[in-house]
Structure 1
């Protein structure tokens, strides 16, 4: 029989919450049941959600690994009024009656989007007096902690008194604390500002931890980052036990200054340098991989041209057909050869990344990467246009910046068929029919195409651009 648990999430990254807990549940081989009763399905903006699990240990595993979980409670009651909460709590007496006689306890009353006065906190606690707990009150080391949470509507952008609107909550939640989230302190541990080596494109700690969870990083896994940069994702995935290999077209970002590569120095700071398998400099479109199915996951943040543009080997313009005598090299033989590069358009890069993932990933391996999109132009079909046979979308979470946002896309390899190495020479042929069956999507231009140009133009609509001429 499944037991309901109340999850209290951090007030950030709403669309990342459910994909993260589903990923950690998959990693630990158990399932989560979502409530289907009317009124129980909550808005994605709410930090409270009730989910059903088979064992209490499953709740503890989620609390210890999920970055966005603040705490997990055994769920006792909820309601839009305290009368509803007390009525439901009395019906669930069998859940808490065993703590009545001789159990020390602590009672906390808190609110979301509001601050409750201490006098009313006492009133709320006294309203649960019918539970008749006979154990002592212990504020420092209680045997159980009972939590009551009031959820208020958002009042962002308004000015009001500290306790204004007290009692005007949307819903009340009540339960017994199972475990506080112990993974959130990792955000401070991996803070970029405290890192010995980082760059202007280093991923913030919280996001890199979420990406590591989406990749199912764990001991025994081998994970690859094809756009390694300064290694933000390598440290978090290695911390969770995975072995990491990285590459980049520009080795200077990985090396930094000094005798020891910057990534290795930063990895040593976190005690994971032994889990960095190697760092290589090459273009992913001219990669050295001679066999596939090498990695359990690919995790990366591809450059999309705002702070650093994506490059691939090649020349922007073809050389004219000149006589061989005019093509004599004037390069100093003592200097290293630096091959020419050309821009790598984001839509083409994303499409190639999926093909590379299908080749290099083991069956059921995951490809986790960020994709920037223009908010007004984005459509669900944008993600489907980059898919290929044998790959499916697992999660698509948005980090919203207003006019644009970046989507953390998780794609899983669903096939055990071995595919040849992709060549990346020409774009894949346009299908006669879109993956959704909508013929209009054949000519669809995804919102992430030409993202760099749109970004620096201020995301002007076509009509606005015409009026500026």
Structure 2
């Protein structure tokens, strides 16, 4: 099959990362839905093979590929399709009848060019590499200049042997021309190892960037993290261009001062300054308190699980403590199930229609079933990606989209079961409390405090 042109589509080979396997296609689908990219799958991605063949069918497929590569963290590169076969000889036989067509189509006369080779699953000997290049030597153009390091056009032969394979012959051979490199290097820029301000629950940079993609954070959008902590998720959302707001109930982590009254040298906003990103608005507030007059395009968060951070909420009925901080609200323990009810009720009220909520749900692997997922009538499940933490514990990145405005009587529901309310081997016997409209509309003194001068 020859390369397609704009208007009739563009067939591509996509090289995905071979980790976070459960997240790869959901991230790709989130990005393509954000940009309205149309595509068809010719050869699907599998857990064993990080290569997929897709046909981009939009009016400007090359622009569509560029948009996808500008966002996807779990893609290495995208190649314009030339051929695929069971061996290099099979690929060469497919290319030979249309050698002139391929050469002219991929390599304009003014271009510099090169051939390269990529293997997955095992290394190739120099003899095998030379043999591969020789079998495709008839595609070398009679024009242009060879530039092995910086060629404008790069033919790539990809050998797939299978992961950690002992096979001497490849299971699949692909040939394509490099179109774009995606964002695989971005997590290294934002790695936690370089952050000036960290906490024990700071989200991994790569996962934070993926979460931003799942929530479709972008220029012109508004993103909220109601469990902002050290702000790692909002760093990623801000990188993607979203205007961000963060709130947290723990004043000890987001406050400008330590518990001893000493002003912090570094705080939640330090990381944004470090990366030259716009500062978000940070507030001290409980998620269940309605302080919002507008709506958000995305809510992206990592709620506490009760391991390194307690699952808690404001106890609005508690007596005010005496002393130097009379407005400090009392906190009370709650369950993960209650937290999920509040989170989904909040999202149903405060997301725009079409907006997304992205959050982590902790699970005990042995007990998890899909029935444990929280639900809300105004929200639809988009994706459910699993990350293993230990043999016992894991967590699921849940992405939901608001499909309509919430109406009276709509309530979030959970099957408060073994898979998360026993998380951390802590059994809580706290009944699930429905979130009422009156509760969301009440703001007690001291339950909200904005921190603009951090």
Q: Aligning the two structures, in what range does the TM-score lie when normalised by the shorter sequence?
A: 0.7 to 0.9
Contact kept in structure 2, 1:100 and 1:131, CA below 8 Å? no
Which residue in the other structure is 2:164 paired with?
Answer: 155
In 2 relative to 1, CA 428–127 (structure 1 residues): closer, same or farther, beyond 3 Å?
closer
Instruction: Tell me how far apart the structure 2 counterparts of residues 19 and 72 of structure 1 sit (CA, whole Å).
Output: 17
Instruction: Tell me how far apart the structure 1 counterparts of residues 97 and 302 of structure 2 sit (CA, whole Å).
Output: 50
In 2 relative to 1, CA 90–309 (structure 1 residues): closer, same or farther, beyond 3 Å?
farther
Deviation for aligned residue 1:247: 0.7
In 2 relative to 1, CA 380–280 (structure 1 residues): closer, same or farther, beyond 3 Å?
same
> 1:87-135 CA distances to partner (integer Å, 9 max, x unpaired)?
3334665444435684532111121121112221111111112324223
Between 297-306 and 109-118, report the one with greater CA deviation.
Answer: 109-118
In 2 relative to 1, CA 314–82 (structure 1 residues): closer, same or farther, beyond 3 Å?
same
Deviation for aligned residue 1:376: 2.4
Task: Describe how 1:412-451 pairs up with structure 2 within 5 A.
Answer: 412-415=401-404, 417-419=405-407, 445=417, 447-451=419-423
Which residue in the other structure is 1:218 paired with?
Answer: 218
2:21 paired with 1:18: no
Contact kept in structure 2, 1:395 and 1:410, CA below 8 Å? yes
Which residue in the other structure is 2:232 paired with?
Answer: 232
Contact kept in structure 1, 2:303 and 2:359, CA below 8 Å? yes
The DSSP-based 3-state class of the residue aligned with 2:341 is: helix
Which residue in the other structure is 2:242 paired with?
Answer: 242
Match among 151, 155, 160 for residue 146 of structure 1: 155
Which residue in the other structure is 2:290 paired with?
Answer: 288
Deviation for aligned residue 1:167: 2.9
Which residue in the other structure is 1:200 paired with?
Answer: 200
Task: Describe how 1:82-97 pairs up with structure 2 within 5 A.
Answer: 82-90=88-96, 93=99, 94-97=101-104
The DSSP-based 3-state class of the residue aligned with 1:199 is: coil
Instruction: Tell me how far apart the structure 2 counterparts of residues 454 and 44 of structure 1 sit (CA, whole Å).
Output: 34
Instruction: Tell me how far apart the structure 2 counterparts of residues 395 and 187 of structure 1 sit (CA, whole Å).
Output: 22
Deviation for aligned residue 1:266: 1.4
2:365 paired with 1:391: no
What's the TM-score, normalizing by structure 2? 0.82
2:112 paired with 1:104: yes
2:165 paired with 1:175: no
Contact kept in structure 2, 1:218 and 1:242, CA below 8 Å? yes
2:345 paired with 1:355: yes
> 1:308-367 CA distances to partner (integer Å, 9 max, x unpaired)?
12111239xx99xxxxxxx9x9x6533445433222211221232111100000000000
Deviation for aligned residue 1:294: 0.9
Task: Describe how 1:329-344 pairs up with structure 2 within 5 A.
Answer: 332-344=322-334
> 1:181-236 CA distances to partner (integer Å, 9 max, x unpaired)?
2x222211211121111101000110000011111111111111110111011111
Deviation for aligned residue 1:5: 0.6
Which residue in the other structure is 1:452 paired with?
Answer: 424
Instruction: Tell me how far apart the structure 2 counterparts of residues 428 and 132 of structure 1 sit (CA, whole Å).
Output: 62
Contact kept in structure 2, 1:111 and 1:152, CA below 8 Å? yes
In 2 relative to 1, CA 198–58 (structure 1 residues): closer, same or farther, beyond 3 Å?
same
Match among 124, 128, 146 for residue 132 of structure 2: 124
Show structure 2 runs of 5+ residues with no match: 1-7, 258-262, 428-454
Contact kept in structure 2, 1:112 and 1:152, CA below 8 Å? yes
In 2 relative to 1, CA 280–146 (structure 1 residues): closer, same or farther, beyond 3 Å?
same
Which residue in the other structure is 1:161 paired with?
Answer: none
